[in-house]
Amino acid sequence: AVVHLTQHHMLPAQRTAELMGDLFDLPLSDATVLAAVDEARQRLEPTVTAIGQAISAAPIAHADETGLRVGGKLHWLHVLATGLLTWMGIHPQRGKKAFVAFGLLTSFVGTLIHDGWKPYRDLVCKHALCNAHHLRELTYVFEEMGQAWANHLIEMLVEVCHEVTAAGGPLSADRIAHFRSLYLEIIAAGEAANPRAPPSGKRGRTRQSKAVNLLHRLRTYADDVLRFMTDPGVPFTNNLAEQAVRMPKVKQKVSGCFRTLAGAQSFCTIRSYLDTLRKQGVNLFHALTQTFQGNVPQPRFA
């Protein structure tokens, strides 16, 4: 119950200890709560390692990262997810060094759905970009900058998403060609309305507007933006990974930052296991009970 409350429902250790006293007349110290969490981590580590390896071998995976405070310093929570599995890890670095340390994305050869952050681009796998991000950026360009092309692209992307959903998979070659041509027409209209700023003469890249940068990304990575309509199983958004990183942010908001790296690592291990079982419809309290009894329930890995 202590692990369930602190790692799944995000209660602070002190409040959890008090709750045990109120509910069960079993007052606990904070140290006892933390000891239970650490024991759970040790028991679950082999299973969570297997979860990470299964995601690394999956044909499609989602990736995201978010900042977390550990011992007063900024660290990065890294998330990998599929429809069945969730894996989390904590590292001082956000990019390549973390990928190498974890050893999961460096061997991934499937299709990775992400938000376009450059270190993901350096991975030797196929890529698909999150269109929820694009819709938000396009909405800004349309509503705040008054540019009609952005609304046209929003309507097109939503229409394609509906067609893919109705078809239950990739579109026909004719529809793919139609939408790809329309996509490039809209991008060209956007580029005509947003000429690139001339070189400033200063060192480094010339600063461009948000619209110009967005258009450059949408044209350069057009195949990745539209991969959801061409490749089986590739979704429209990166929601699986974004949902996984949301709850750790809640943990930080409710309980504050992690005092130690060991505490953050325990959270990542236990949360990976619990979120995986949640996706698979397993009763989390019963699973934790069996874990402490020495029989860790195993998730489906594929």
List residues bridging with 66 in a β-sheet. Answer: 77
In tens, the pLDDT along 144-167 reads 999 999 999 999 999 999 999 999
- Between 175 and 71, residue with greater pLDDT: 175
Residue 83 has pLDDT above 80, yes or no: yes
Q: In the predicted model, what is the mean pLDDT of residues 180-204?
A: 91
Pair of tokens at residue 25: 């007349």
Query: pLDDT at position 206, please?
Result: 82
Average pLDDT, whole number, for the chain? 94
In tens, the pLDDT along 257-270 reads 788 899 999 999 99
Q: For 195-258, give the secondary structure using H, E and C.
A: CCCCCCCCCCCCCCCHHHHHHHHHHHCHHHHCHHHCCCCCCCCCHHHHHHHHHHHHHHHHHCCE
Contact between 229 and 171 under an 8 Å Cβ cutoff? The reply is: yes
The residue type of 10 is M
Residue 250 has pLDDT above 90, yes or no: no
Query: pLDDT at position 36, please?
Result: 97
Query: pLDDT at position 25, please?
Result: 94
The closest alpha carbon to 238, from 63, 71, 85, belongs to: 63
DSSP 8-state symbol, 65? E
Q: In the predicted model, what is the mean pLDDT of residues 198-203?
A: 81
In tens, the pLDDT along 93-104 reads 999 999 999 999
In tens, the pLDDT along 122-148 reads 999 999 999 999 999 999 999 999 999
Query: pLDDT at position 249, please?
Result: 74
Helix, strand or coil, per DSSP, at residue 80: strand
Q: In the predicted model, what is the mean pLDDT of residues 164-190?
A: 97
Helix, strand or coil, per DSSP, at residue 91: strand
Q: Is the pTM of this model over 0.85?
A: yes
* Per-residue pLDDT band at 247 (split at 50, 70, 90): confident
Question: With 0-12 CB in 10 A as exposed, 13-18 as middle and 19+ as buried, what is 252?
Answer: buried
